[in-house]
Amino acid sequence: MLLRNTMLWLAGNDLVKRTIVRTPLSRALARRFVAGETREDALAAARTLNQGGASVSLDYLGENVHSAAEAEATTRTYCDLLHRIAEHGLNCNVSLKLTALGLDIQRELCVRNMRQVLDVARQTNSFVRIDMEGSDYTQLTLDLWEELFRDHGYQNVGIVLQSYLYRSAADTERAIQLRARVRLCKGAYKEGREIAYPNKVDVDRNFVALARRLLCDGNYPGLATHDPAIIAWTKRFVTEHGIDRSSFEFQMLYGIRRDLQRELLADGYRLRIYVPFGEAWYPYLMRRMAERPANLLFILRSLRHG
């Protein structure tokens, strides 16, 4: 827990960020978990993963933008990505954060930008996943997502729910009722025990409970986990209950547990790899270190062998 809290603190420390991002070695190490800084890097990574049998979700890194111009630039990037994905015939969709499209600035701006992205996704027969951010944004994100999905008729937009939040059981039931697509993950932000399970065993137990509901009654859920025990449970559960493997997918992060990724594909399961790219890689990398200490050990080993 101390390591996790330290890494999350580092993720938000501007002084540490400025120091680390200037280090060539740290940028090189980031390439293990981030496809690169350009759209070409991201599309190349997606093509390689598709060739290996995995589908992809591309995420242009950068959240909490400070101006409408930045939000509109991010919107254009996503629209271009969707066109490029279609042109290249890739098995790929996109993931985005609402604060990258201007949620902190003005809700109407964010909605307008989201509708632009969703319109292009509709034209290109693609799908957009709204990522979940810290708990300050949970209700805002769910409200805006449901407005787009239910009121504006965008059936090509899904949501992310986090098993470390107490509220996610109710949010899962709402998503099932709406027949919306959910990515279920554990959660990578620092949250207080008044709203989130403080112990890993409880987070894992809730993940399994929510996964069970989504596998039985959800609409093509994505189970985002690198946990071998949860993956083994999922395999047993779908076999015992006769759940078709085509009705859900596993999801994993780019560069993490490649061994498990290969095993799932070899066993005939659907797998989507979440591929981040962009210059704003530092906060993402720190959260990945906090989420799984083995990722930090990988970096330390790389430093040692320099």
Instruction: Output the tens digit of pLDDT for each of the chain's 306 residues.
Output: 544 554 444 445 554 445 444 555 455 556 778 898 899 999 999 999 999 999 999 999 988 999 999 999 999 999 999 999 999 999 999 999 999 999 999 999 999 999 999 999 999 999 999 999 999 999 999 999 999 999 999 999 999 999 999 999 999 999 999 999 999 999 988 899 999 999 999 999 999 999 999 999 999 999 999 999 999 999 999 999 999 999 999 999 998 889 999 999 999 999 999 999 988 766 667 666 655 555 555 444 444 433
pLDDT of residue 286: 65
Pairing mode of beta strands 271-277, 182-185: unpaired
Which residues, 6 or more positions from 79, have their beta carbon under 8 angstroms from its beta carbon?
116, 117, 120
Helices (H), 200-267: 200-217, 228-240, 258-266
Among 109, 55, 49, 120, CA closest to 84: 120
Catalytic-labelled residue, pool 84, 129, 181, 183: 183
pLDDT of residue 298: 46
Catalytic-labelled residue, pool 131, 171, 204, 227: 131
- 39 catalytic? Reply is no
Task: Report the distance separating Cα 168 and Cα 63, nearest Å.
Answer: 23
Which residues, 6 or more positions from 27, have their beta carbon under 8 angstroms from its beta carbon?
21
Provide the residue type at 164 as one letter.
Answer: Y
C-alpha 90, offset from chain centre:
19
Residue 54's SS3 state is coil
pLDDT of residue 19: 45
- 22 catalytic? Reply is no
CATH no. of 35-280: 3.20.20.220
pLDDT of residue 16: 44
Task: Report the distance separating Cα 106 and Cα 160, nearest Å.
Answer: 22
Among 98, 73, 87, CA closest to 43: 87
